[in-house]
Structure 1
Amino acid sequence: MTCASLESALTDWVQLPEPNVRCMPVTRRVAILLFEDCSFAVTVMLGEIFQAANEIASSANRNVRYELRFLSVTGGNVRCSSSICVWTDGLDSWHCVGFDTLFVSDGTGASAAARDERIVNWLRRVHANMIAVQPLGEGHRLFRSACAHAEPRSVGVEHGGAGETEGEEREHTSVRLELMKGALILLKRDIGDDCARSVAKQVMPDTLSAFPSLLGGSPDRDTADRVHVAARWLKDNCQRSITIEDAARVVDMSTRNFQRCFKIAVGVTPSAYLMRARFAIVCSLLTHSELPVDKIARHTGMSSGDRLAKVFRRQLNVSPTEYRIKTRLEAGI
């Protein structure tokens, strides 16, 4: 398998619309991982957020629709808090792909779920496939069990406003803010600032003051178009030894301004975007080719096998060779 044939590996974790091009309707699949004694309130809030997003996006003639799926280790009914059951699909039906973002539910059952090797191994493979994972509350415990040396996307909130409460109320508010921020990052990317702000105002108006930077001003259309061009250039050239400064020069922007505008428009830093592009290709090559690790590193702009090994250890707590053996075995190769 050649590197050129692996472009599809990049599209699983982020898809950017071409500037000023009317796309065909797109379905974004969002999943939430549930377990026994997970939070029913989180499940309801996510449903409300993405139902509102679909209504607002349709009214604004956006060509994106969200589909929310509930997942559990075996599928079927899962008993949430307050003894309320939710019907779920089994993890095997998704095979670590097929959705854009995964939320990991809050709830007292997270500790028991963190000891279930089936859930932990599946979550580890999801993270290795560069799918955005957003743990909520106690769900961080489960995420850490699967990816001990990795970090999910930052879910910190600004000080003040809705975040300043005490005790159980503060803990509940923190989970709501984590959930809202994770959803807003996705909504901003897909349907724009105005629609994302409308969703927050409709579903959780008390959270608006907690996200001044996230819901604040965005780059103008020309700057946003240039950022999208640069993102495409980074993806197309990720197998070369390129830098963020190179990408900024491609669109005639200063490095500092480019990094700031890129984070606002895309939701991640240019460095993280480039690393994810490279890592997606590396994972596919390790699984589906016989190329040595050193050669894979050189093919994907990682400079050397030693550097690639360090990245793997940091992200997945395994070596590239261990990852290759495990994923090829699971894929039956």
Structure 2
Amino acid sequence: MPLTHRVVIAVFPDVDLLDVTGPAEVFALANRETSGRAGYQVRLAGPVAGEVRTSAGVRLLADLGFAEVGGQVDTLLVPGAVDMTDGGPVARIDADVVAWVKETAPYARRVASVCVGAHLLAAAGLLDGKTATTHWSTAAQLAADHPAVTVDADPIFVRTDRGRVWTGAGISACLDLALALVAEDLGEDVALAVARQLVMYLKRQGGQSQFSVPLSRPAASRRDIDELRLWIADHLDEDLSAQALASRMCLSERHFARVFKQETGASPAAYVEAARVEAARRLLETTDCPLDQVAAAAGLGSAETLHRSFKRQLATTPAAYRRRFRTTT
């Protein structure tokens, strides 16, 4: 008979829909990929049993009220909700959820937050003295509201307290977090099988950044600069010097450099290096190509340049990065 992993996901008014359904789908697929041997039993719990309206307007049905959950919880999963203000999104602190998490967490094998759910874990005192992540847009709020928490806005997820407490980053990273929980329970092979069913590009590791280079820069006000950024990403092995890019834009090199930095926040050389390092990271994560081939494919020329760029951009070496993040299938 399969071991039962009882997963309880908190739901409450205006909860982010994907924060709930994304992990639930991962656990369901793990059951399917193992012909039921995974034993995940997912239940939704709310302040009371019954209908809950999410931020997307879609209604969910809570299987249980918080008072009905009891102590047999393997994984307690806490999603979040935000209120939109003139200053941007603000994580909502639901007092009922905080009280229930504080009461239930000691009896759960592990507790995980999804996206801005980290604010609820912090309010319940579960993140004091620990490193945590959350959606990048509310990371400053988490740090300001909870100075005892070390907030790292970059990783996809953070595992602390010997695996008892997990925090996940924004939105789609809920899938990466849930896959990591499956890998911990059932091994990498099952997690990768689930990732393939989800048609995910790869099962990302926790220490990786929430951002790709284009996403980590604000959108340019000039459409031609945005188009150039996309062109750069597709032509990393070509001449991307400031002179060549300026010529492509029909601008003087000096004027181009000034406009590019004003629009992207980075010099052309720094932006191109970051884009090439990102491409090299993907190759290191997914292939066994020698470092000189990785460097050539990413436009960095040589293994020596690859090494220098990794040290400058990531404070690590290509070999160390591959050892940590190489994903096998």
Shorter-normalised TM-score: what interval?
0.3 to 0.5
Bigger Rg, structure 1 or 2: 2
Higher strand fraction (1 or 2): 2
TM-score of the pair, normalised by structure 2: 0.46
TM-score of the pair, normalised by structure 1: 0.45
User: Whose relative contact order is higher, 1 or 2, with alpha carbons under 8 Å and at least 6 apart?
Assistant: 1
